[in-house]
Structure 1
Amino acid sequence: MVIVALKLDAVAQDTGAVKKLIRIAEDQRARFPAEKLYLQFDRPNYTTYDTIWFKASLFNAATYSPSRLSSKVYIELINDSSSVVNRFAIPMVSGLGQGYIVLNEKINDGTYTVRAYTNWMQNFGDDTYFSKQFYVGKPSDQGSWLISEQHILKTLPQGNEVSIALKLSNLNNAVIPYRDIELRLTEGKKTLFKNNYLTSDGGNIIANFILPKKADTRQLSLLITDKTNKNKYSFPFYPGGQLQDIDLQFMPEGGNLVNGLSSRVAFKAISEDGLGTPVNGKILSNTGREVCNFATVHNGMGSFFIMPQASETYAAKYELNGVTHSVPLPLAQPSGLALRVDNLSSPDSLYVYIRTTPEIAAANKPYSLIIQSAGEIYLGLSFKISRGFTNIQLAKNNFMSGIVGFTVIDADNKPLCERRIFIDHHDRLNLEIADPQSRYQPKDSIALNVNVCDVNGAPVIGSFAVAVTDDAFIKADPLADNIVSRLLLTSELKGYIETPGWYFASDNINTAIALDELMLAQGWTGFDWDKALQVVPLQPKFKPEPDNRLTGTLRNLFNKPAKDSKLNLFSISKKYGLLVFDTVSNARGEFVFDNLPLLDTISYTLRVNNKKDKASTADIVLDIFKPADVTGNGVRLMPWYMHVKDTAMLAYFNRPQPPRYNGIDISEVKGRLLKEVKIKAGKPNIIVGQYSGYVQKEFAEKELVEAGKTTLYDLISRKVGGFGTGHLYRESIFGKATYHEQPALVVGMTMVSDIIVDGQGTSIMSADGKGSDPQTAIDFMKSIGADDVKNIKIAEGMNMFITVTTRSGNGIFTRPAFNILSYRPVPLCLPRQFYRPKYDVKSAAAFTPRPTIHWEPNLITDKNGRASLSFFAADKPGTYTVIIEGTDMNGNFGRQTGKMVISPPVRAATTQSAVK
């Protein structure tokens, strides 16, 4: 614990209770150490078919050293419908990892979120996950449009009439005339309005519709569909005017208002798009008395002081678009404590003021103040408030940079007041970018030197990622989240934080005030005292993953642990061939396969035998990774193509594109790529025994393994509409559906004539010899597990039939193997080299523009704090932005940006390059 100098107006009491609290808290932290995760990307914008490059850094939250709890980080790409379109894991070594996401032909344009977390982080909630939201757009060669929208709102008795004017143009600002489009207004998934239009010769559309009075303006979207090529353009629609909706929230300092005690109240005004919005008004009592004025300072946030009275309630009144709104303040408590922390008056000290009502002061009960920061408890002290107040002065240099939390706890260990502040000592790493050569031309090889030292000037060994982007296409946002703002600020705050880099861009009083109000308004996802002080210590729901392992439990017929059972793990890899591992379950039936090889995609088969080395009846229960639920952050980004004013964005999406081929990454092609030959073919035809037909649906091995012990009947029922059992069906496609006493497998109204398992049919003659007995097929589908099968095809010709290929090859006699389990873990994304073209400087041929000129995810500085990298400039003059971020994984991290100018080649003059 750090010892700090205190100045108390009240004498500190016996600290035995505080020491007990600290022991409980430290024990809880030891068992639940938090992690912090940061991802650095090569650039902020992407188009379809681009590749997202990133580096991950995973820290112990208390020390900023490498986290030893997690050997992998799970990466998810989530679309604007909250569906995960890609999920994989990257291996972490000493807290560092790297990966990439290919935005292939399966990725449509729209708003996406990259979410990253470890299995262990799920114990702390999704506020601790890393997430980054961005828009993936279509480039011009895919028919991308620019859209301008204006509207007028008129209130009518039956609703609100909206007159909307749209103008459509291409990326060269040429209008789109005489184009058939569909315009649709939606509220979430519900369609409120739909109509077809033809654009005018100026690319314009005029539409009118009635907006229901109860429509949720936070969920409205306009969808434009180009009926010629089926391209879709969707964007949020905010009617504004008298329908503009603001969510005004109030957060009293310390947590509660108390009658008779002055308190600071923070507020935040959030507009329909989920972002802060300016607002101002007055605080009035229920008697009409004006208490004070309030106005936002930054990103919809502000604060004011109020002393509530016992006989009054309070509301905030403000006017918006001619409409007066009233929002009640939280009700004040009749008695209690008020906590105020002053972090702005002095550059060297902070002041803690604790006030209480007279009856609590007269009781003279003991209280505790706990101060914590960076995952550690800095100070704990006991005090009494017999005089009604306690003042504490603390030196700021006793705390690390970052968020500091203050909690007042009563004698029953109940937290009463909490407050978070931010302290910044400006002690980040100093990064210097320098180029050793002064002359560069397009296509030249460029060398950069990086020098890194700490705040005291000592050289630093660390790992850094460097991104070099072309300013003609990429406009770096200096206010966006970065490694400094993420680790010190946003990783410990609730909700969405706008422009977090702004709070570190300058050091002045206005920034300090805005940062303090951010801390008041959005709190901290820090230590949970209620959980820590529970009588029964909590056990982690989600286990750590310190290495690439597979764990689980064996249970016998009576659900008791199956101890001393032998397990074999089999897998086949292109790199290693047949892999075989074995282990033995312990007395609790638990087993572990440690340090499994890192392979991008792999399927495991587990087999368990008893002590006599015979097949066991024990159930294998794996500790399988369960993904976190997807929850939105309430922020709706406006697509880039709406009201375009950014010339760099326009150039980015309008740039020439390389050839694209489905399933092929052009950067990995080593030789000459032949022209694509498109073969038009129908559905594959299969012939099995007496049956012939076209495949309507196929289940591959990966999908079957992931379904686990789900029966084939249940799996197909979920995936194929109309599949099940029924009495009303036709026996062939030319037959007529009639009622049958004997139920059969059906797809819609068509009977499944046969299940052909490993080439053997299940169509067994009935007892009367008049036809087949469909019950055999039903029994088979309801008894066999999906992971016992390698492939399923549903085909239709003269008859509907299904082919099944089992793992054992035992045909219809295949039964679930209770001692065998197949499992396919989340695939791993292994590191890959960033594509680096080598230009022939003598060639005059044009090259495809590259928004990311170079990406270096693991630049290691030596003992002198130095490192170098090289890359090729593009084939045109311009300016580049160089961004470097990284850490020594020992508590220090930093960020630096620079500019590089590549001048055009001029014979009579020299080409100059500079990094600023």
Structure 2
Amino acid sequence: MVILQLDATAQDTGAVKKLIRMDQDLRERFPAEKLYLHFDRPSYTTFDTIWFKAYLFNAATYSPSRLSSKVYIELINDSSSVVNRFAIPMGSGLGQGHIILNEKISDGTYTVRAYTNWMQNFGEDAYFSKQFYIGKPSAQGSWLVNEQHNIKAMPQGNEVNLALKLTSLTNAVIPYRDIELRLTEGKKTLVKNNYLTTDGGNINANFMLPKKTETRRLSLLITDKTTKNKYIFPFYPGGYLQNIDLQFMPEGGNLVNGISSRVAFKAISEDGLGTAVTGHIVNNSGQQVSSFSTSHNGMGSFILLPKATETYTAKFELNDASHSVPLPVVQPSGLSLRVDNLSSPDSVYIHIKATPGIAAANKSYSLIVQSAGGIYLGLSFKIGRGFNNIPLEKSYLMSGIVSFTIIDADNRPLCERRIFIDHHDRLDLEVANAQTVYTPQDSIALNIHACDANGHPIAGSFSVGITDDAFIKNDASADNIVSRLLLTSELKGHIENPGWYFNSNDLNTAKAMDDLMLTQGWTGFDWEKAMLPIARPQFIAEPGNRLTGRLRNLFNKPAKDSRLNLFSVSKKYGLIVLDTISDAKGEFAFENLPLFDTIAYTLRVNNKKDKASTADIILDLFKPTAIAESEIRIMPWYVHAYDSLMLAYFNRPQPIRYNGIDISEVKGKLLKEVKIKADKPHVNVAGYNGFVKKEIFEKELVEAGKMTLFDLLSRKIGGFGVNRFYAESVFSKPAYHIYDPALVIGTSMVADIIVDGMSTSVIVGVNTSIDPVGDPQTTIDFMKSIGADDVKDIKIAEGTRLFITVTTRSGNGIFTQPAFNIFSYRPVPFCLPKQFYRPRYDVKNTTALLPRPTLHWEPNIITDGTGKAALSFFAADKPGTYTVIIEGTDMNGNFGRQTSKITISPQAAAQKRTQIGK
């Protein structure tokens, strides 16, 4: 940290030092984390496995984060629902995992979101996320969709004429197929009709689009009524209805009267991505005062000399329709901040100007220069001359985003500007091949050499993915470890093609980066939050695999010196029994728990005399972040499919699939599948007979915690609740019972709750020997009084009557009471490391193996003190070129990425056989 001063008084400098100390204290108490996941490839099909390695850093130093020993991974579908959530253990900031895309994963757009519990204190923008499409291969009957439409304005709305052409992935038409076509606006259905494709696989549909439709949320859903396959993709009407979100952001934050300002802008289309626009700026008199045109990904900037007596509007034409967007209101007085990061390769020039009234007041201000690592510069100054120009050498600053903020005497931020500094000081990674060309199924050895920017060898941890260029396109513009750590982890919103900004050092790229900083970097560090007293974090750090919580007695006071027992059973360790004592605050902790993929814990608390306590157990449970609907709606690849690589990828030969079986783990010969058809389980208890319609098992009950059975069934069972309209048995029709509300599922009354074999009817003395029926109010009260974690199993069964059986943990039947001193808990399961499948080639086996889009994945490459490491694997049996991508870090501030190529040639194999013959 460097502290300078310009026209400063001792009091002013002291204020800056105080501000810096507050910032340092905040960062020490709330150190931020940065997370990056390296995947084996960018796209997948159902039944594939996603392989990844996780790198978790202290955001200031890029050293291993010591706050978190686990990272939570979520696979989220395009309906914003989590289809898989698990945790991976982290050691020294490193971890690895995999996601098996089994038969339960349908095709569609998915997002992998990853974060630590501690990162939830900093908001979702701090999380790692990656969006990609998971599709069905050709063998599963996938289609290509060609969609064309035109739109016409009508008095009652907008008439859409839609033309669809459906073909297979091999471009064969889909004739005479029954399909359902649905147009939705979010979750609301606007149009729903059935169609039969023509002999050419075509469909023509006409429908009206309401005038007030939100075009950014429209989707088309095509359902194949034969295979039940679904194809959903965004529907953008376009034309005069094209919806462009155009935003203007003055440099520094405001347009100030009489001070020339650079104004950045970004145009976003319905898909959430940048789009090209060109237009001009007019004042309130209709005079053109400037013009604008996008330069990269919908972004650009222009110069404007604003006047407080005028208002400004952007005008542009799009699809023969005129649009206008107001610019921010001009401030009559104030400061402006302009930061020039492009004129010099060695220096940054800071230009501060003030309106005459502000200059005459000659007040003190502070310029704060900071990054994720802390404050570089605290500069107190006055601006009596109306301006200050300050040069700053770039060598003082680290690579990454740097913020410049002007703060007044009351520590209120007035202007802010962010720039990007790039010293090109990444790791130099070299991947050397022992041969230039390899034969199919040949043994390949790669030598890896890692050096820092000064050429010194480094010891580090790296991950390597090798993919087939015939199937996989590795986009050099995609996010990677460099762009993630230096750029996207510190900006809000979606950054398009972040890797592009690091592929070239030319002026156009630097200008585009500066426009990105002026738009999506428009707001940075929250200074107002930094001035507030440091509060206890809402989400705790998880430095180890531990279970923590607190005990509260009946008066919500800490239950101190109480003994807490933890029980669990695992296949690996058998019975696990641990105990601990609560402290004076009633807090407790079980440290260094073993790692399990899935496990359930039961906790019991006793008082000082080792008898059952009335204390309530409150665990520090992981609460996942809610999922917001994504603003990025990318068109799936199969719509207007012109990508030959994707067609080859989805048309590639597929192995035989078996539900619930991972072929790579099969040892020996796999026998043919035998399907056994079994009748539904029969239940005969307490005078009731029926077959099980639905069963809720212990895992779901434990996960529900203290939720009542009534609330749990309301979530799990459609139509479950209390109602007066129901049928008492299969022999009666639904009717309205004005005085007798009952538990129902749909229109069927729940006749009774059988708890541990005992009917609730015994409480009120109902005769159950003939045609049994329980008391409706008693069943309702019971379901609302008992917690899910007090129960082991629930069955919904139906014979002549609908009834529910409940098996409790205590076995006390209907007299079971919620156990305040017992708590059952099932933590988020761990995904433990698994080795990537390596085929073994037999020289006697001449059968060609199936294509492998990922030829090899190695998450644990460790370079030694000389910076060297070796990697070996087998070439594929398929000739072609393969891309090698290596990413990693020394976990000491340095990281890097490198790509190279491997060639597998059939000619090389022929030459080898000729040499052997000679």
Which residue is 2:721 aligned to? Answer: 724
| Structure 1: distance between partners of 2:195 and 2:536 | 60
Pick aligned residue for 2:634 from 630, 633, 637: 637
Partner of 2:854: 852
Amino acid at match of 1:283: I
1:550 aligns with 547
**Partner of 1:678 in structure 2?**
675
- The count of corresponding residues between Structure 1 and Structure 2 is 909
Q: Tell me what 1:317 maps to.
A: 315
Contact kept in structure 1, 2:710 and 2:784, CA below 8 Å: yes
Please tell me whether the aligned partners of residues 434 and 450 of structure 1 are also in contact (alpha carbons under 8 angstroms).
Answer: yes
Aligned twin of 2:906: 904
Q: 1:162 to 1:331 in 2, by over 3 A?
A: same
Q: What's 2:52 paired with?
A: 54
Range with greater deviation from structure 2 (370-379 or 729-738): 729-738
2:369 corresponds to: 371
CA distance in 2, matches of 1:688, 1:800: 13
The answer as to whether partners of 2:126 and 2:489 remain within 8 angstroms in 1 is yes
Measure the CA separation in 2 of the matches of 1:101 and 1:867: 27
**Aligned-residue offset at 1:767:** 5.3
Of the structure 1 ranges 670-679 and 607-616, higher mean CA displacement relative to structure 2 is found in 670-679
Q: Secondary structure at the match of 2:216?
A: coil
What amino acid is aligned across from residue 83 of structure 1 in structure 2?
S
Are positions 1:664 and 2:661 aligned together?
Answer: yes
Residue matched to 2:647: 650
Q: Which whole-Å CA distance do the structure 2 matches of 1:786 and 1:422 have between them?
A: 53
CA gap 1:773/1:909 in 2 versus in 1, 3 angstroms: closer
Q: CA deviation at 1:906?
A: 5.6
Q: 1:569 aligns with which of 555, 558, 566?
A: 566
Q: Which residue of 2 aligns with 1:886?
A: 888
Given that 1:903 and 1:911 are in contact with CA atoms closer than 8 Å, whether structure 2 keeps it comes out as no
Secondary structure of the residue aligned to 2:237 is coil
Structure 2 residue 689 is matched with structure 1 residue 692: yes
Q: 1:346 to 1:438 in 2, by over 3 A?
A: closer
Greater alpha carbon shift after TM alignment, 636-645 vs 764-773: 764-773
Once the two structures are TM-superposed, the CA of residue 909 in structure 1 deviates from its matched residue by: 3.0
Contact 1:128 1:525 in 2 (8 A): no
Partner AA of 1:656 in structure 2: P
Q: Is the 8 A contact 1:355 1:390 kept in 2?
A: yes
Residue 215 to residue 726, structure 1, CA distance change in 2 (3 Å): closer
Q: Pick the aligned partner of 1:233 from 228, 231, 234.
A: 231
Distance 1:558 1:908, change over 3 A: closer
In the aligned structure 2, how far is the partner of 1:426 from the partner of 1:779? 68
TM-score (normalised: structure 2): 0.96
Range with bigger deviation, 674-683 or 623-632: 674-683
Deviation, structure 1 residue 740:
8.2
**TM-superposed deviation, 1:162:** 1.7
- Gap change, CA 1:319 and 1:731, over 3 Å in 2: closer
SS class of match (1:764): helix
Which of 102, 109, 118 is 2:107 aligned to? 109
In structure 2, what is the Cα distance between the partners aligned to 1:31 and 1:98?
28
- Deviations along 1:148-191, one digit per CA (max 9) or x if unpaired, are 11222222222222222211111111111222222221111122
Report the TM-score when normalising by structure 1: 0.96
Aligned twin of 1:519: 517
Give the aligned residue type for 1:865. G
Which residue of structure 1 lines up, in the alignment, with residue 123 of structure 2?
A: 125
User: What CA deviation, in whole Å up to 9, does each residue of 1:93-124 have, x standing for no partner?
Assistant: 00000101111111111110000011111111
Q: How does 1:373-522 map to 2 (within 5 A)?
A: 373-438=371-436, 440-522=438-520
Cα deviation 1:420-440 (Å, max 9, x = unaligned) = 000100000000111224552
Q: 1:222 touches 1:236 (CA, 8 Å); kept in 2?
A: yes
* Higher mean C-alpha displacement, 496-505 vs 728-737: 728-737
Where 1:229 maps in the other structure, the secondary structure is: coil
CA RMSD of aligned residues (A): 1.9
The letter of the residue matching 1:823 is Y
The 8 Å contact of residues 23 and 374 in structure 2, kept in 1 or not, is answered as no
Task: Indicate yes or no: 2:825 matched with 1:808.
Answer: no
Aligned to 2:266: 268
- 1:68 has 2:66 as partner: yes
Written as runs of structure 1 = structure 2, the 5 A alignment for 1:232-381 is 232-381=230-379
| Residue equivalent to 2:603 | 606
Q: Which moved more, 1:94-103 or 1:202-211?
A: 202-211
Would the aligned equivalents of 1:753 and 1:763 in 2 still touch at CA under 8 Å?
no
Distance 2:281 2:7 in 1: 33
Amino acid at match of 1:867: A
Q: Is the 8 A contact 1:9 1:391 kept in 2?
A: no
- Structure 1 residue aligned with 2:821: 819
**Do the aligned residues in 2 keep the contact of 1:366 with 1:384 (CA within 8 Å)?**
yes
Q: Partner letter of residue 686 of structure 1?
A: V
- Which string of whole-angstrom CA distances, capped at 9 and with x for unpartnered residues, describes residues 428-462 of structure 1? 00001112245521111211111111111111110
Contact 1:566 1:610 in 2 (8 A): yes
Return the alpha-carbon distance in structure 2 between the equivalents of residues 473 and 238 of structure 1.
29
Q: Is 2:624 the counterpart of 1:627? A: yes
In the TM superposition, 1:192-231 aligns within 5 A as 192-231=190-229
Alignment of 1:30 onto 2:20: no
Segment of structure 1 superposing worse, 339-348 or 553-562: 553-562
**Is the alpha carbon distance of 1:250 and 1:9 closer, same or farther for their aligned partners in structure 2, counting shifts above 3 Å?**
farther
From the superposition, tell whether residues 326 and 737 of structure 1 become closer, same or farther in structure 2 (CA, over 3 Å).
closer
C-alpha offsets along residues 272-318 of structure 1, whole Å, 9 cap, x if unaligned?
Answer: 11100011110110012211111111000000111111210001101
What is the CA–CA distance in structure 2 between the aligned matches of 1:235 and 1:182, rounded to whole Å?
A: 14
Structure-2 change in CA distance of 1:729 and 1:636 (3 Å) = closer
Deviations along 1:534-562, whole A, 9 cap, x unmatched?
2x322211111111111111111111111
Aligned mates of 1:533, 1:176 — CA distance in 2 = 64
Contact 2:437–2:903, Cα closer than 8 Å, also in 1:
no
Mean Cα deviation higher: 723-732 or 154-163: 723-732
Q: Is the 8 A contact 1:439 1:911 kept in 2?
A: no
Matched, 1:840 2:842: yes
3-state SS of paired residue (1:501):
helix
1:907 CA displacement:
6.5
Conserved 8 A contact 2:440-2:909: no
Listed one character per residue, the Cα deviations across residues 788-815 of structure 1 (whole Å, up to 9, x for unaligned) are 1110001001222211111122222222
Bigger mean CA deviation after superposition, 210-219 or 683-692: 683-692
Partner deviation per Cα, 1:483-508 (whole Å, 9 max, x = no partner): 00000000001110000010000110
Q: Please report how far the alpha carbon of residue 843 of structure 1 lies from its aligned counterpart in structure 2 after TM superposition.
A: 2.1
Alpha-carbon shift at residue 743 of structure 1 (Å) = 5.1
Contact 1:494 1:524 in 2 (8 A): no
- Could you report, residue by residue, the CA deviation over 1:307-330 in whole angstroms, capped at 9, with x for unpaired residues? 111210001101111111110000
1:686 CA displacement: 2.6
Amino acid at match of 1:593: F
Q: Determine helix, strand or coil for the equivalent of 2:911.
A: coil
Helix, strand or coil at the partner of 1:512: helix
Percent of paired sites with the same residue: 74
Is 2:757 the partner of 1:759?
Answer: yes
Q: Tell me if structure 1 keeps the 8 A contact 2:794–2:807.
A: yes
Q: What is the distance in 2 between the residues matched to 1:502 and 1:87?
A: 31
Counterpart Cα distance in 2 of 1:331 and 1:152: 38
Q: 1:591 to 1:431 in 2, by over 3 A?
A: same
User: Which residue among 710, 713, 727 is the counterpart of 1:713?
Assistant: 710
User: Which consecutive unaligned segments of at least 5 residues does structure 2 have?
Assistant: none
Give the Cα–Cα distance (whole angstroms) in 1 for the partners of residues 9 and 497 of structure 2. Answer: 43
Question: Per the alignment, do residues 339 and 694 of structure 1 end up closer, same or farther by CA in structure 2, a change over 3 Å counting?
Answer: same
Shift of residue 703, structure 1, vs aligned partner: 1.1
The structure-2 alpha-carbon separation of the partners of 1:895 and 1:525, relative to structure 1 and needing over 3 Å to count, comes to: farther
Note the C-alpha offset of 1:29. Answer: 0.9
Note if 1:790 corresponds to 2:788: no
CA contact (8 A) 1:765 1:772 kept: no
Q: What are the Cα deviations for residues 113-136 of structure 1, in whole angstroms up to 9, with x where unaligned?
A: 000011111111111110000011
